[in-house]
Structure 1
Amino acid sequence: MTASIAPLTVTNPADGSIVGTVPQHGPHDVASLLAVAERGRRAARALSRFERAAILDGAAAALRGRADAFAHMIVREAGKTITQARAEVGRAAVTLSLSATEARRGGGEVIPFDAFAGAEDRRGWYTREPLGIILAITPYNDALNLVAHKIGPAIAGGNAVIVKPAQQTPFSARMLVDLLIECGLPDSAATVVHGDRSLTQALVAAQEVRMVSFTGGFTTGDAISRIAGIKRLAMELGGNAPILVFADADLDAAVEACVSGAFWAAGQNCIGAQRLIVESSVAPAFQQAFIARARTLRTGDPTDERTDVGPMISAPAAERASRTVASAVSHGARLWCGGSAEGAFLPPTVLSDVPHDHELSREEAFAPIAILDTFTSEAEAVAEANRLDYALHAALFTENLHTALRVSEQIEAGGVMVNDSSDFRVDAMPFGGAKYGSMGREGVRFAYEDMTQPKVICIR
């Protein structure tokens, strides 16, 4: 359908060049968008599981064959380094393949009616049926794979999906949907829309939408939950990951993992290694090695194979992060490296002595910023890890299995990575948060279950 307001211009965060324009819609277009999605709902539901799986497997293979084009688009619109972009494309292909498996596997099971008194003459089963129209709202930091994590399970479950990608990174989503349609998906079963908050609010509130799957910030998530009405919600709202490094850890391995976890994708990672909490007896050695390694990372042109840290999503985002660092320093923190933005580039930034009541310690930085802190006892470490009201992942480093198991059980988070960075994730695992703001799980099997519903068939 034809867009009704001025097109959106997308720029490259690294150099400000124009990537392209996309059409935009407003709230008055919602009825037409939903009419297309309703046709898509019927078409998607009519697809056999074999057809859904074939479409998803075909798209996974096609994505691998066009990995270079997709990777370069991620670099241009999101600013990831080319190495990181290639890794994201590979993960997105895996996500689609996992979705194809779920289309084949997740069909329900037999119910033993005859195991219950009064039902001995009954036989039956339950199937998993599509919800209908799913609204997927995706962020800019994983512009391709997070779209795949929503659209893949939705298609596997026989749903139609409306994808609302971040304004900064619309092209990766559009390319993926075009690829799925090319591989046989009915073109009405997946629609990409662009527009401002008013469009999003109108779609979220629409009764025809049966589920909203959202990845983004707490403020937006809270607004969505207030206007959604009676529908299913799945939300991944970010975190501020704690990483505990015990004295018996392999410090070299811990440093390398934490540097990667803190500065991958310019720190724009909801499970990035932000709070590094190190046992006091080894804290000086860890701090010295971590800072030295962070200083070796190369910030610059994301198309250069040698670049480690590309730009943040925009110059204003980098400047906000730089101001937050300056605020922490003014409140007593010590800055060891980085901290000053140039355009959209903020080099790896390391601080210590950040007050616990400062926003850099309390909130998700979503920038290449790591905070060094210490602990003297296991109880203190666990208390600090659990201090905040929300958590996606946490991590801990120790050579003692008893410590690893005991502390992992006490940490309140959606996942605890042992002897690995908090940002370790495979696309088959359940992924989501604990405590405030946690709703549902991503990871293909778990999203598929959220996007479908049981239907019982009983024969007497």
Structure 2
Amino acid sequence: MKGYMLIGGEKVFKDREIEILFPYDNSVVGTIPDGDEKDAELAVGVALKGFEKMKELTAYDRYSILLKAARILANRSYEIAELLTKEVGKTIKESMGEVGRAVNTLTLSAEEAKRIAGEEVSFDAAPGIKGKVGFYRRVPIGVIGCITPFNFPLNLTCHKVGPALAAGNSVVIKPSENTSLVVIKLAEILIEAGFPPEAVNVVTGYGEKIGDAIVRDERVRMITFTGSVETGKIIMSRGGLKKYAMELGSNAGVYIDEDQHENLDVVAEKVCRGGFALAGQVCISVQRVFVHDSLFDKFIEKAVNFTGTLKVGNPIDESVDMGPVIDVRAADRIMEWIEEAASAGARIMCGGRRVADTVIEPTIVVDVPENVRLFTGEVFGPVIAVNRVSGVEEAIEKVNLSKYGLQAGIFTGDLKAAFKFADKVEAGGIMINEIPTFRVDQMPYGGMKESGIGREGPSFAIEEMTEIKTICFDVGL
């Protein structure tokens, strides 16, 4: 499949191309243009014209177009899911799930287009003020740069583009060079549904060239980014005076309390599914598990037994539960982290082996030292680190031993323990009797500490993607 950039509805090809590979066997899925600064500048210029055209659309127009785009996407579910599996390496079941969520995200964004409102301002609440009435309204900010990741290229792009368009902005999308083809398909669907072609632009290539040019462009009024902490910091240092929404790293922690004896089978399965979904390449994958001393051995036994039932292999096979990681470089790093932890005294209870270049067995490691990268960093691979703790107080302390704070979870029947955990853990989302991997698309989603700033979820993203304009009348009362 020969890919192209989409600028103002026109297909843009380049002599220089980047191959997109199927992570499972490195076969070529297609190519995309290797864009440069001039392509980014062109796309931003076109998006400015698109913003002017977006101003002509009513809230109902934007609602209707987004709803139509959701229907088109739903009708093409399997085609898009197959492309997702080939680009990302996620199983076909996971890909169908992502398409379903993307349809929902666009639908939620459509509904929010009708709800963007302000309210009256009580000017006469200030001393000595009479005869002034007015209100504020939320208005679109202009061109938004959307830099999207490889792991959920469809739904996470919808989480940026859906609210941006719902609010009346135009967008320039820079997808991951690993997973650009499905994003181009999404942009074409949005234009087919009725958005001005100039309002939905996709530029492809490497972040250091084309992404950097979008970030530095003063005409871009906001950057919404999902990716690493390091890249997020670079973006904010180079972008200058504009708005930012940053969904960055995580190493989500979950605590299993001492009263979970009867629920341990269910809890162990949930934890493992949360750690191994998409081969652990989910921002809120379960990575660090803290188990009460009294349950530790039983939990490990049940988790290892469940992990042994998972089928690993070619993600196109509908019977496969877990596929590859995105590329060989990622697999090399994950194996290095496992080996580092083992050398420092951790024990590998299952997995820990490389089945193929990009396929790593789902791995459970116990007694992980707190100074190794498997504990401190974001592994973004199929590895769960399990340590024992004496109770909820120690669990809170251990979960907070992280520069990240995206989501965390606790399994307990003790209401006081649940509230204490929710109050004391430094994370943007706390899941009670659920894994931290849980997310629905309408909830506010984002992190504390180095996990980022701002929130996703269509209604919350729209707040980030609009500005407040205050209007005051002197009516001489």
Q: TM-score range by the shorter chain?
A: over 0.9
2:373 corresponds, among 359, 364, 376, to 359
Q: Within 5 A, what are the aligned runs for 1:15-414?
A: 15-196=25-206, 197-249=208-260, 250-341=263-354, 342-414=356-428
Contact persistence 1:5–1:26 (CA under 8 A): no
Please report how far the alpha carbon of residue 228 of structure 1 lies from its aligned counterpart in structure 2 after TM superposition. 0.6
8 Å contact kept, 1:235–1:439 = yes
1:13 is matched with: 23
- The amino acid across from 1:98 in the alignment is L
- Structure 1 residue 122 displacement after superposition: 2.7
- CA drift of 1:119 comes to 4.1
Conserved in 2, the CA contact under 8 Å of 1:3 and 1:25?
no
SS of residue matched to 1:421: coil
How far did 1:134 drift? 0.4
Alignment check: 8 A CA contact 2:148 2:175 kept: yes
Distance change (3 Å), C-alpha of 1:30 and 1:165: closer
- The alpha-carbon deviation at position 307 of structure 1 amounts to 0.8
The whole-number CA distance in structure 2 between the counterparts of 1:30 and 1:161 is: 12
- Deviation of 1:116 (Å): 4.5
Q: Distance between the aligned counterparts of 1:31 and 1:292, measured in 2?
A: 54
Alignment identity in percent? 40
Give the gaps of 5 or more residues in structure 2.
1-6
Separation in structure 2 between the aligned mates of residue 420 and residue 31 of structure 1, nearest angstrom = 45
User: Quick check: 1:26–1:198 contact (8 Å CA) kept in 2?
Assistant: yes
Task: Confirm or deny: 8 A CA contact 1:44 1:159 kept in the other structure.
Answer: yes
Q: Partner letter of residue 418 of structure 1? A: I
> Contact between 2:22 and 2:87, CA under 8 Å: does it hold in 1?
yes
Give the C-alpha shift of residue 120 in structure 1: 3.9
User: What is the rounded CA distance, in whole Å, between the counterparts of 2:179 and 2:41 in structure 1?
Assistant: 25
Q: Residue type matched to 1:385 in 2?
A: V
Distance 1:334 1:212 in 2: 42
Give the Å deviation of 1:86.
0.7
8 Å Cα contact 1:153/1:448 also seen in 2: yes
Matched pairs, number: 460
Q: How many angstroms does 1:371 deviate by?
A: 0.6
Whether 2:430 is the aligned partner of 1:419: answer no
Q: Which runs of 5+ in 1 are unaligned?
A: none
Cα distance in 2 for residues equivalent to 1:72 and 1:110: 49
Structure 1, residues 353-403: CA drift from partner, whole Å, max 9, x if none?
211100111001000000110101322111001111221000000011221
SS for the counterpart of 2:249 is coil
Q: Secondary structure at the match of 2:198?
A: coil
From 442, 446, 461, the equivalent of 1:428 is 442
Report the Cα offset of residue 320 of structure 1: 1.9
> Does the 8 Å contact 1:395/1:420 carry over to 2?
yes
Deviation at 1:46, TM superposition (A): 2.1
- For the residue of structure 2 that corresponds to 1:105, the secondary structure is coil
Match of 2:4 in 1: none
Aligned partner of 2:468 in structure 1 is 454
Amino acid at match of 1:131: I
User: In the alignment, residue 221 of structure 1 is paired with which amino acid?
Assistant: G
Q: Distance in 1 between matches of 2:405 and 2:132?
A: 46
> What is the root-mean-square deviation of aligned Cα atoms in Å?
1.3
Measured in 2, the distance between the counterparts of 1:284 and 1:340 equals 23
Provide the rounded CA distance (Å) in 2 between the counterparts of 1:389 and 1:19.
37
Please name the residue that 2:3 is paired with.
none
SS at match of 2:467: strand
CA shift digits 1:187-220 (9 cap, x unpaired): 1101011122122111101100100000000111
SS state of the match for residue 417, structure 1?
A: strand
User: Take 2:248 and 2:313, find their aligned partners in 1: how far apart are those partners?
Assistant: 29
| Contact 1:355–1:361 (Cα < 8 Å) also in 2 | yes
